[in-house]
Amino acid sequence: MDSAEYERKIAHRFAAFDQDGNGYIDRADFNAAAARLLTEFGTTARCDRGQALYTGAEAFWQGMAGIADVDGDQRVTREEFVGGAVKRLRDNPDRFAEIARPFLRAALAVAAGSDPEGAAPASAPVAAVERALRVLGAADDIASVAARSLDTDQDGRIAEPDAVAAFSAYFTVIEPDA
């Protein structure tokens, strides 16, 4: 892959986190993503699912900041994202999966309307995950294809392990068409 292609892919991944488009990733971006998901699925911030989503967003932000916020200003610039989130996590995608897992578990629970702390791993209907991806900024066609591809056992639901693995791969593997 040439340098221009690599840069384009990095910019696209950075933009997925920079929800407000201000040029850096911060706690507000994670909170905004949580708020949009709650609104989309008619879930209040004060219910168990809402609280779990905000707690997951905070944990995700803290993990991201711990990996990428080199100067400690509580913001991750594009350069810090490339240096931290991409280079470091490419070597250890399981680390990225673990910092994202609480948010993804709670997001699936919000989309499914289920208890995020249930005994089984969270799962949500494919259509609900597609809605969630759109709310988080994915284009309609990409959200549809991505949601369907995450249903690995073709049961109409997307399970937490599949969502976490795909999310980790998307943000840590910068390959052509990845």
**pLDDT per residue as tens digits for the range 39-83:** 999 999 999 999 999 999 999 999 989 988 999 999 999 888 887
What does the alpha-carbon distance between residue 161 and residue 97 come to, in Å, rounded to a whole number?
10
- Is 53:61 a contact under the CB 8 Å cutoff? no
Taken in order of first residue, the domains within the chain and their CATH numbers are 3-172 (1.10.238.10)
Q: What is the model's pLDDT at position 35? A: 97
Closest CA to 112 of 120, 122, 99: 122
Q: What is the model's pLDDT at position 85? A: 63
Residue 168: band (very low, low, confident or very high) from pLDDT cuts 50, 70, 90: confident
Position 177 pLDDT exceeds 50:
no
Residue 13: band (very low, low, confident or very high) from pLDDT cuts 50, 70, 90: confident
